[in-house]
Amino acid sequence: MTRVLDVARIHLVNWRMAVVMPLGILTLVLLLNWAILATVRGVGAESDFSAGFTTGGMVTMYVFVFVIALQAITQVFPFALGLSVTRRAFYLATSLYGLVQAVVFGLLLTLGLVVERATAGWGVGMVFFGSAAPVQNDLFVNGLSYIALLLASFAVGTAFGVVYKRWGQVGVYAVLVGLAVALTGAALIVTWQGWWLALGETIIGQPPLALGVGYPLLLAAVLGGAGWLALRRATP
């Protein structure tokens, strides 16, 4: 365990990129959205979370986590192996790093949601953190959802990094093309059968805990296991 913790610290060597940059960019996006709405609506605009102006600013956090995970494999992995770190220790350390990062960022996002609701959308009726909240009034489920979605983003980034280290650019292109073909084929089948309405009702009918927490965690677990199987044979 000590070895895993030591390896995990390697990911924090560039802590500005891993911690400060994502939070800084998220704060900047929040301020820009607030400034625009404050100019258009004026400070003190009345709004609730069902009628407020919803932004997509939260996407920046998930993109950053994806990139951080991608770099952890493509850049840190060769360096770690050069220090005689085993693949198992590196992957466990990277997984631990992703988990801790998701929990810390998830708690901060939950705090942002609390402030957002307490100020009626930052005083301008803006839904920023609430845009990714599966339940309007259940703060616990929303907090878990943030953590689960961040873990899923980290797992996706890790998976793409592993594919790149194992099979190179050809492997990445093959995965992207395969996903595009699969999604297009699924969309064509659903359209042909007229299942869109039923599919939408099925998704909406899912319990918030399953939709916002369970499925993202399942995706993270599947990609995490597949990533380990591929990384065992990856070259630095």
Quote helix, strand, coil % in the chain, to nearest 5. 80, 0, 20
pTM, two decimals, is 0.91
In a domain, 145, yes or no: yes
pLDDT score of 89: 93
Say which amino acid occupies 178: G
Domain containing 137 equals: 2-169+211-231
Task: For residue 197, tell me if it sits in a domain.
Answer: no
Specify which of 4-18, 64-78, 111-125, 202-216 reaches the highest per-range mean pLDDT.
64-78
Mean model confidence pLDDT for the chain: 88
For 134, the token pair is 């599966």
Are 155 and 219 within 8 A, CB to CB? Answer: yes
pLDDT reported for residue 42: 63
Residue 153 belongs to some domain of the structure: yes
Alpha carbon distance 87, 93 (integer Å): 10
Domain assignment present for 129 = yes
Q: Which residues contact 195 (CB under 8 A, 6 or more apart)?
A: 189
Name the token pair of 51.
């009628």
Output the CA torsion sign for 222, 228, 229, 235: positive
Q: What span, in angstroms and rounded, lies between the C-alpha atoms of 113 and 64?
A: 19
**Structurally, how many domains does the chain consist of?**
1
Query: Mind listing the pLDDT tens digit for each residue in 135-188?
Result: 667 788 889 999 999 999 999 999 999 999 999 999 999 999 999 999 999 999
134 lies in some domain: yes
DSSP string covering 11-75: GGTTHIIIIIHHHHHHHHHHHHHHHHHHHHT-TT----TTTSEE--TTHHHHHHHHHHHHHIIII
Domain contains 104 = yes
Is residue 206 in a domain?
no
Cβ-based neighbour number of residue 78 at 10 Å: 13
Percent above pLDDT 70 for the chain? 92
Is 11 among the domain residues? yes
pLDDT of residue 228: 94
For residue 126, the cross-strand partners are 53
In the block, tokens 């957002």 appear at 116
